[in-house]
Every structure is written in C-alpha cells, then in structure tokens.
Amino acid sequence: MNKLYFKYGAMGSSKTAQALMCRYNYITKGFKVFLFKPKKDTRCVVNGVPMVSTRIGLTSECLEFADTDSFADLCKKYDILHPNSVIIIDEAQFLTRDQVNELKEASRQVPVLCYGLLTNFKTELFEGSKRLVEIADSLAEIKSVCRCGRKATVNARIVNGRIATEGDEVVIGADESYESMCYNCFVKRKNAEKPQN
C-alpha cells in the first residue's frame, strides 16, 4: 500500500544519507525514483546540475522544486504517477502546506518519502513539517546525539560563536552554521550567553 512517510530528525542525524540509501534500495528493485530537493538549498550544484549531498560523501542528481511549484504539475511534467515510481523529498521542511497536500494526494498512487527537520532554530515547527505531522501515514524519528550524550532535538543556529534567537527562519548552512543539541544544553548555553546586567 502506498503511503506518505515523514522521517525527521535534528541536523546531523543522517536524514539525507538515509534518503539516498532508500533511493538506492528502490532502484535495485527496479523502481524509478524521483528525488527532489528545494531550489533554495543551493549548497550542491555540479556543472549546473542540482545534487543531493551528504556529510559522508554520498551524492545523487536530483530534481528541484520552488515554493511556487505544484507537485500535481511536477507529477505530470515528469510522468511520475505509475506503479513502479517512488517520490523522495530531501529537506522536506521547506515544502509548503499546499505542496504537502499535493504529495498526500500523489501518495494514493505511489510511495512518497519525505526527509527533513521538524523544527527551526527557534524550536518552532516548519510549515512543511507541521503539515506532514498532521497528515503523513507514517512518522519516524531519526535520532541524533548532543555533545552531552542525550538525544539531540534542537537545531541551534550559531552566529559569531553564540546561539541566535532571532533572524530569518531559513538560513542555508550545515555544521558551520548550526549545531544539534538536546534541549537542556540549548537552554543552558543560551542562558549562559545572555548579557549580564
């Protein structure tokens, strides 16, 4: 049975690596995999070709979507909705509510697997993640650890060595801009960095 899956975790939890391993597994079974990433993720483009790339060196060519794109239209454009097709979305937190609704409709015909963050650096749900939690058929957490050894759940944005508490929701970056940590360490560090009166 086809479903809409949402696999989420903090930064550095191997979401993209798992998406690429999933892609590989489907391909070896004869499926045609349509791997998408958001256009706003400009970190990996090789010779003008968009790529999905992991910290451990796994890469794959992919298709891109913009905030204004309709997945109903993209499914028609790429002729996706066939029994042997699969849709995989990397950085699914950047989907819009409408795009998630369209992917839910597509999942009536093909498996749709979404990988992404649950919350932003302010510990608030992303729009796409919120909608995925509301309507996905399957939710699975991909666990990661904080420096202290507890489960990491917070994607702390680091600016000039300090935790940022304000700014744009989307700032594309990796280890140089973010650190995943448990909530206790997040609060402790944030409080320690507050200016003393």
Active site residues: 91
Integer Cα distance of 75 and 54 in angstroms: 26
Return contacts of 51-55, CB within 8 angstroms, 24+ apart. 52/16, 52/19, 52/20, 52/90, 53/16, 54/14, 54/16, 54/17, 54/20, 55/12, 55/17, 55/174, 55/175
Integer Cα distance of 22 and 16 in angstroms: 10
